[in-house]
Chain A
Amino acid sequence: MSVSTGTGVSIIGAGLSKFGRQPGRSGRELALDAIAAALTDAGLDWPDVQVAYGGSDGSGLADTLVADLGLTGIPFTNVKNGCATGGSALLSAVHAIRSGAAEVALAVGFDKHPRGAFDPRPEDWGLPAAYGEAGLMVTTQFFGIKIARYLREHGISERTLALVAEKAYRNGALNPNAWRREPMSADEIAGADMVNDPLTRFMFCSPGEGGAAIVLASDAAAAGSGRAVRLLGAATRTRRFGSFEVFSPAIQGSGRPSSVSSDAAAAAFAAAGVGPDEVDVAQLQDTESGAEIMHLAECGFCKDGEQEAMIAAGETEIGGRLPVNTDGGCIANGEPIGASGLRQVHEIVTQLRGEAGARQVAAPRVGFTHVYGAPGISACTVLAV
């Protein structure tokens, strides 16, 4: 690994609530579970936290959690940034520590979504109501259009989509905290009901439930921790001109759409002073299995089209060259929007510490996380021990 000063910030605690359906429990309760787990992991108590950031997409305001955590008077800022909510909260905590405003900071994300697909309203997206009446306010269409074109352009088979989902369920079966813990064969995945060609229903993640929390500290404050994971680089970005996003009435510009994931990943790697080839374990947004395939290239782990051979050779499996979504990703854990980005960080921290049990990657030193979401946002981190 090349020499890097990193961000000067380390992760000293990581915690999750249970993921998956939990009748009778609120999103806020899941957030409290995650915070308690992260604080215990860090060996700290709530009064040790000097600043906090967090949010959910649809399960309430994070700053109300102080009623149950303790009224210590610290600044607690609500974050609402779609799928990047957790990543944005984490970045805010990093900035607070780097600015000298705090030595110990908390980032938390949580959500509890009702069953079924998300229910977006055209007016919230700046679109005429007609888009809803015509049946175009369906998030899964975007993923189908993007991956269908990508497969054709780069000669990747539909079978590879099924292999990615098969891996997600297989890894989920090894993860005691995952929602989906039953392995499923590629044949069953490929043969399931088509949602939006070429994606079948078992290739998609489902809106779900869960909370995730991360405790961060300055490298100086983390020095005594022993289990600290260094945050080498972190970045969030919004889309640049010419990108292709969900609910776009048009894609502007000619040529290939820009990628916010590429921008955020490149910025995180540049800050970290390491390259994608140095990463030992990665978490990539897998809203559906095609997203994992495209994000491998967008984040710099391979060239377009190489995924077909990579995945066939098992390179993204737990025992492979670049294990991806070792906890089962969004497909096996579900998508509680506010929590997903920090769940990814939790998994990389767990892997780098060598505490991932049955799904442990052999001695990883450098890890990477990537979230992507509407309306064209991405957050990435590079972590190391």
Chain B
Amino acid sequence: MGRSLTGSRCTHCGTVAFPQAPGCQRCGRRSTEPLELSTRGTVWGFTVQRFAPKSPPYVVPEGGFVPFAVGYVELAEGVKVEAVLDCPDGSDFSKLDGAEVTLVATEPVPRFAMEPVV
């Protein structure tokens, strides 16, 4: 489907980073290779942004601010990626706890959704 996040893997110890990093946080060596990350994962933790962040830098969406979930998605590569999280009805955020999610956007930041992409 041509949509994935690019991280990196340490060629020495295998530690996976996102975004792509020139060095390894675990072993301190500076030899990494690009790695396309899984597009499905599990919500590790999340909260809800209830108020509009300060603008700038926040760009208010067309139609105005609505609360959104933000959290970390645990991927099989052994890294948890920060992302905006969409849930099916858009407001019952509690469903996100431990949910399986799928990558739906990589820009401006990673975005995962509970409903699988068709």
On A, residues with C-beta under 8 Å from B are 116-117, 119, 121-122, 128-138, 141, 144-146, 148-149, 152, 193-199, 241-242, 248-254
Contact = CB atoms under 8 A, between A and B. Distances in A.
Contact of B45 (A132, A137, A148, A252): A148
A252 B70 contact: no
B72 A251 contact: yes
A144 B47 contact: yes
B108 A145 contact: no
Given A145-B71, A149-B44, A250-B17, A132 B58 contact: yes
B19 interface: yes
Interface in B40-67: 44-54, 56-59
Contacts of B93: 197
B70 A130 contact: no
Contact of B25 (A141, A146, A252): A252
Interface of B: 7, 15-19, 25-26, 44-54, 56-59, 68, 70-72, 78-82, 84, 93, 97, 107-109
B45 A149 contact: yes
Contacts, number: 108
A323 to B, nearest CB: 30
A148 B47 contact: yes
A253 B78 contact: yes
B48 A133 contact: no
Given A134-B108, A152-B97, A249 B57 contact: no
A317 B84 CA distance: 38
A173 B44 CA distance: 38
A223 B109 CA distance: 59
Nearest to B109: A134
B81 A250 contact: yes
10 A-B pairs with the lowest CB-CB distances in the bound complex, closest first = A132-B57, A144-B47, A130-B108, A149-B45, A250-B18, A251-B80, A135-B53, A196-B47, A134-B109, A133-B59
Nearest to A247: B82
The residue in A117, A130, A194, A197 that gathers the most chain B C-beta atoms within 10 A of its C-beta is A197
